[in-house]
Chains A and B, each alone.
Chain A
């Protein structure tokens, strides 16, 4: 039986000391407008302690190794914030789902 406990014991973001010899990728990208809005939103949520920064960090860890590896930096932030809001009962999945559809249709994005 394979021991999977390492997946649980070590958080997916805990990189220190791992990853030997991969060169540091020097390419940079300017923040996309939505990424900057996302950053500002999380700052405002932390200021009000609606979702504090530590909760947001925990939320980016909780999504597990696959999502942690495949989602970009700000994609993780908004998923984390959404999950925290759901956990605290501030929003419900249904509300998010309906608003997401409403915004999509407004912007001409196929649903």
Chain B
């Protein structure tokens, strides 16, 4: 049985948190000193290329903060699921660079089976050198391929 003081869902703990939590005090302090712009501009509701930033004491919903950032070197996972994917074969195991954090979308692998809500994943725009994707083709060293990949297919390289 979880100690009610440690169980975040217990009534007493919630009351404590609301009255005295350091996070709440920090948040209120940032508003008071004009940090409101920082606290609210980077909310979980901002779209496009502004990912949620971490603010001390503010607890975000699971997965809401992007694990990857612009500039990260990534490798596309070598996995072979059955059923449905939107990460083409030619990318598997290839290395590229994140150039944009797009936004969160319903995972198409779930959406394809009728689950229209409940699984939001980060979508990233990734840039690949063409000669690395297709080493045997006569690729120009100037050329690149860019596309969007969901976070479940990317690992930090």
Contact = CB atoms under 8 A, between A and B. Distances in A.
Say if the two chains contact directly (CB < 8 Å): yes
A8 B82 CA distance: 7
Contacts of A9: 80, 82
B108 A16 contact: no
A52 B89 contact: no
Contacts of A49: 116
B90 A55 contact: no
Interface string A43-74: 00000010010110110010000000000000
Mostly, the B contact residues are loop
Contact of A58 (B90, B113, B116): B113
A58 B83 contact: yes
Nearest to A9: B80
B134 interface: yes
Contacts of A14: 88-89
Contact of B114 (A8, A11, A55): A55
Contacts of A61: 84
A88 interface: yes
Contacts of A57: 84, 112
Interface residues of B, number: 16
B82 A52 contact: no
Given A16-B88, A16-B89, A55 B82 contact: no
Contacts of B85: 11
Contacts of B83: 58
Nearest to A49: B116
Interface of A: 5, 8-11, 14, 16-17, 49, 52, 54-55, 57-58, 61, 88
Given A55-B111, A58-B113, 4 more contacts: A17-B134, A49-B116, A54-B84, A58-B83
Interface of B: 80, 82-85, 88-90, 108, 111-114, 116, 133-134
12 contacts: A8-B82, A9-B82, A11-B85, A16-B89, A17-B90, A17-B133, A54-B111, A55-B111, A58-B83, A58-B84, A58-B112, A88-B114
